[in-house]
Amino acid sequence: MQQTGGPISAEHGIGVLKRPYLACTRSDAEISLMRRLKIALDPKHILNPGEVL
């Protein structure tokens, strides 16, 4: 993977295409927090299914 110095995400979150690369820029603790926030905000998984946050 080539790094260009830019972020992997924007304010809209991480989608299914960038999901495999999330671990390149975020720690396990950060990814875990993102998943917990997603569950807290969307417990029925109806908003943007498949996205991490």
| C-alpha–C-alpha distance, residues 45 and 34, integer Å | 14
Can you give the three-state secondary structure of the chain, one letter per residue? CCCCCCCCCECCECCCCCHHHHHHHCCHHHHHHHHHHHHHHCCCCCCCCCCCC
Residues 5-32: tens digit of each pLDDT: 666 555 566 777 778 888 888 899 998 9
Residue 3 has pLDDT above 80, yes or no: no
Predicted TM-score (pTM) of the model is 0.65
